[in-house]
Amino acid sequence: MDTSHSHTPSDLQHAPYTPLPDKPSPARIRWPFKGFAAILASIIFLLSLVALIINQSQESLPKLNQNRSPSTSRPAESFSKPEPRGVAQGVSPKSNPSFFSDKVSYNWTNAMFSWQRTAYHFQPEKNWMNGPLFHKGWYHLFYQYNPDSAVWGNITWGHAVSTDLIHWLYLPFAMIPDRWYDINGVWTGSATLLPDGRIMMLYTGSTNESIQVQNLAYPANLSDPLLIDWVKYPDNPVIVPPNGTETDEFRDPTTAWMGPDGTWRITIGSRYNKSVGLSLVYQTSNFTTYDLLEGVLHAVPGTGMWECVDFYPVAINGSTGLDSSANGPGTKHVLKASLDDTKRDHYAIGVYDLATDKWTPDNPKEDVGIGLQVDYGRYYASKTFYDQSKQRRVLWGWINETDTETDNLAKGWASVQTIPREVLYDNKTGTNILQWPVEEIERLRLRSTDFTEIVVGPGSVVPLSIGQATQLDIFAEFEIEMVSETKHEKYGCSGGAVDRSNLGPFGLLVIADQTLSELTPIFFRPVNTTEGIVETYFCADETRSSEASDVYKQVYGSTVPVLTDEKFQMRLLVDHSIVESFAQGGRRVITSRVYPTKAIYGDARLFLFNNATGVKVKATLKIWDLNSAFIHPFPFDQN
């Protein structure tokens, strides 16, 4: 039952104010956070690719064609720290090896490990954790999974279903690596729903020679709502790396979209000369034979290998999502790439030319890989799908661990999916997308607590009495009042929450213990720039989130547009070791991964804080306790 409690300023007038503790490190940074061979009948040269890159870079590209040239090997690299899993196999790092590789990073207890496991985010029952779709009343999630261990390897497709994107049921594996063309892994793929109801699933397989090829699979029985059995096309692979591309840098096919000629297109990520990230376009009428089109969809020098490319339309004016084939007036296209070099998901908004199959960013200074990120925190390999049942575009993302591989083996599981997010075009700014948790998350809400216009003075911390603060949905709104003269400053996120400036930071301390020895600040920092404008940063500071030393802890963040008629607004989803933070209706998002040793179970607390020197902050909050999603195996024994 949903029960509510309200608090006003008078309720908290005697609340103890505690200075925000200094972070342990004295470092203080004040600048802003800125083999196989295959024979194909035709050879198609990507002449425009050469022209495109020459115009952007001094490097020239070779002509690419669909015939496979001799494979090239990756040069040996030397690491003082053990090489992460996945790198030798030609994919992005999938682990965080410890400097003390045979030891856990901290004296973790089973209770600590148990607390770290999320309650309403999707993750497998155990071990390591693509192509989502909606079919006959069920949402389907296919995810890369290692059934043997809590480390990356033996990549198999796990399968789960849900009627609401929140309460998931595990199903038998959808596909396992059992053919020569995917024996080294069934990797990322995408589903396309055809007008006649058929489902085509393209996925990357790593062959017996560790060459990345694209394969086709489809349901054995379309009348089965659960889509339990899948068939691999007998003549796989359907696409092999074209000449001029590295055989281990060609992966992750997108959902297909239909062109004006009535044929389908897909795009696949790759790179040239170690540094030019690009996306190739293939055309097909039957999903079994493909032609490589001239040129590229887009390329950006200096961005490296593009993984998990996503390409989809958004409506300039509208509150619903668009099918992948939508185009025309009132439509923009989002191009997103996961950058193998930086492990960041970047996107840009632009225009797709149907005649040339080329995409151009609206703002070249914020092109893919050099501008906006999908999520500024611990987040990678995101993927959208069009939910035809609710006319919305839904975004998934992967959150990997930031403790060590040894820790993962000790606790028996690793990595999590974000809460699905609905994606729209921000027609107020015209420069970014909006991401917001799907409305179904509200079904988990239990008791709510309201705090109204709580005033937090400079350098103060206010505890919020809500009880255990481990599973929460928080809406917070802030207004500021000057108490001293403003001045020009050069601050950003990188100094963290202890780096005091005139107008910030202020926000919330989540997953904190009572003494504030462990805490994770999520905050705004407005800055009065030398140009005379106020620029606002939205940040998450993990540096004091855990007393464990061999855990990756960082300050994440970015600037966020705050319009003149808007207050500072954030929404936080707290789920044990995961915090998803949304600023200004989802213009910026930060996902945090934290591993506290004290702020767990009943000792996890929530605080307001204001570490600015020149403003008072007035905060209004609505906080819900969230239930668990109770994710479990599908009850086949029940009718």
Over residues 479-499, mean pLDDT: 90
Over residues 68-96, mean pLDDT: 47
Does pLDDT of 38 surpass 60? no
- What is the Cα–Cα distance from 405 to 94, expressed in whole angstroms? 9
What's the pLDDT score for residue 87? 58
- What is the Cα–Cα distance from 220 to 213, expressed in whole angstroms? 22
Q: Tens digits of per-residue pLDDT, 96-144?
A: 554 444 566 688 999 999 999 999 999 887 655 466 899 999 999 999 8
Which one-letter amino acid corresponds to residue 613?
Answer: T
Q: Which CATH architecture has domain 126-403+414-437?
A: 5 Propeller (2.115)
Q: Which pTM does this prediction carry?
A: 0.87
Over residues 273-286, mean pLDDT: 96
Element (H, E) at 114: helix 110-116
Provide the percentage of residues in the chain whose pLDDT is more than 70.
Answer: 82
Q: Which residues contact 120 (CB under 8 A, 6 or more apart)?
A: 166, 419, 441, 444, 471, 575, 626, 627, 628, 629
- CATH superfamily assigned to domain 443-626: Exo-inulinase; domain 1 (2.60.120.560)
Q: Tens digits of per-residue pLDDT, 404-445?
A: 888 888 888 888 999 999 999 999 999 999 999 999 999 999
Higher pLDDT, 529 or 606: 606
Q: What is the DSSP letter of 69?
A: P
Residue 282 phi, psi dihedral angles, 5° rounding: -120, 150
Burial 537-567 (b: 16+ CB within 10 A, else e): bbbbbbbbbbbbebbebbbbbbbbbbeeeee
Higher pLDDT, 630 or 32: 630
Which residues belong to CATH 2.115.10.20 in the chain?
A: 126-403+414-437
What's the pLDDT score for residue 92? 54
What's the pLDDT score for residue 91? 55
Does pLDDT of 47 surpass 60? no
Instruction: Report the greatest alpha carbon distance in the chain.
Output: 80
CA angle, 524 then 528 then 530, to 5°: 140
Does pLDDT of 60 surpass 70? no
Band of pLDDT at residue 534, cut at 50, 70 and 90: confident
Helix (H, G, I), strand (E, B) or coil at 110: helix
Does pLDDT of 94 surpass 80? no
According to DSSP, the residues that pair with 119 across neighbouring strands are none
Band of pLDDT at residue 9, cut at 50, 70 and 90: low
Q: Tens digits of per-residue pLDDT, 207-251?
A: 999 999 999 999 999 999 999 999 999 999 999 999 989 999 999
CB 353 within 8 A of CB 360: yes
What's the pLDDT score for residue 370? 97
Which residues belong to CATH 2.60.120.560 in the chain?
A: 443-626
Does pLDDT of 77 surpass 90? no
Over residues 301-317, mean pLDDT: 97
